[in-house]
Amino acid sequence: MSFSSVCKKMPLFRECFEFNIPLWQCPSFLFLVLGLLNIAAMISTYFISNYFTDQPEITALMTILVSLIVFIIGSTIVRGFDKLIEANKMKTEFIRVASHQLRTPLSALRWALDFMAGGSIGQPTEEQKEYLQIMKDSDARMIKLVNDLLDVTKIEMGNLPLVLKPVNLAVIAQDIIRELSPMAKAANVSIVFEADEDLPMVLSDPDKMRMVFTNLMDNAIKYTKGKGQVNVAAQKKGDYIQVSVRDEGVGIPKNQQKFIFQKFFRSDNVMKHQTVGTGLGLFIVKAIVDANNGSIWFESQEDKGATFYFKIPIAK
């Protein structure tokens, strides 16, 4: 039984493990270490001062002084870590509040609008339909934002839950293309898909992989100005399946390419063309691909378009 597994069982440290805080950052553990350190400091100071002086008052004074200094420094550090834990707890609380208290009214709104638009309680006029659609779109945006923020919080806490299953990436890609085709059509963008025949399965979380494809293709469509084409391809490359999503859109300026996977980042040229978006999509995509032992990268030139690649290991 390892040292940390013993610690995990002790009620004193359980809270830290619950919130995914390493032992060396856990305030109760640090407090224990501090106590031991203090005792050691007192004893050694006692012996050292005894060696240099034969006056017991000075020995006692030195011992108290050193242990006081150790205690003050130590407790300041522990208090700092305590604040860290508090922040972590707040994040967990945020997840709970956001997933329940925010999404419940948003769901009620969505369903009420669906019901009204469906015409069961009187056929809405064309103009009313238009307004209902505006409300539905806005509600959908809010739900998406809450979902994204929830994912970001989970990623930052290091517990993005993955349910791994054998997954065919080509099937998911085609699914998402079908889902996004009304949006692509409205934006005058055609989507071309190519895949190796009998593409091997990867071990991945299907729902999360859907998010990866949705985010990459959504960006590709959104940032294509006017008419254009988006190419999606999935191929076997060594022990990996490599997927690429290529667009002919606004591209990413060279000087901003290194920030592209940071959360809340949106490049200047994108802000000019499209104001809708949170800058969370690629951050989430990268976290999912990383969690699947894969990697993600891109090539882009401003005004020429961008190609995003990612690869996921083939299931053994």
Partner 1 sequence: MNKLILFVEDEPTLQKTLGRALEHEGYEVQSALDGQSGLALIKRIKPNIVLLDLILPKMDGFGVLKAIKEDPEIKDIPVIVLTNLESPQDVEKALSLGATTYLVKANYELDEVIKKVKEVIK
Binding site for partner 1 (CB under 8 A): 99-100, 103-108, 110-112, 114-115, 118, 120-121, 143, 146-147, 161, 163
Select 23 or 162, whichever has its Cβ closest to partner 1: 162
Q: Which neighbouring-strand residues pair with 300?
A: 306
Residue with token string 């898909």: 193
Tell the smallest beta-carbon distance from residue 295 to partner 1 (Å). Answer: 24
Q: How is 182-243 classified by DSSP, letter by letter?
A: HHHHHTTEEEEEEE-TTPPPEEE-HHHHHHHHHHHHHHHHHT--SSEEEEEEEEEETTEEEE
Select 37 or 95, whichever has its Cβ closest to partner 1: 95
Contact 233, 243 (CB under 8 A): yes
Select 162 or 314, whichever has its Cβ closest to partner 1: 162
Structure tokens at 76: 């300041």
Select 50 or 99, whichever has its Cβ closest to partner 1: 99
Tell the smallest beta-carbon distance from residue 106 to partner 1 (Å). Answer: 6
Tell the smallest beta-carbon distance from residue 129 to partner 1 (Å). Answer: 16
Phi and psi at 302, nearest 5°, equal -60, 140
CB atoms within 10 A of CB 48: 14
Tell the smallest beta-carbon distance from residue 178 to partner 1 (Å). Answer: 15
Tell the smallest beta-carbon distance from residue 20 to partner 1 (Å). Answer: 14
Select 4 or 104, whichever has its Cβ closest to partner 1: 104
Give the C-alpha separation, 40 to 34, whole Å.
10
Select 48 or 142, whichever has its Cβ closest to partner 1: 142
Tell the smallest beta-carbon distance from residue 118 to partner 1 (Å). Answer: 7
Three-state SS annotation for 149-178: HHHHHHHHCCCCCCCCEEECHHHHHHHHHH
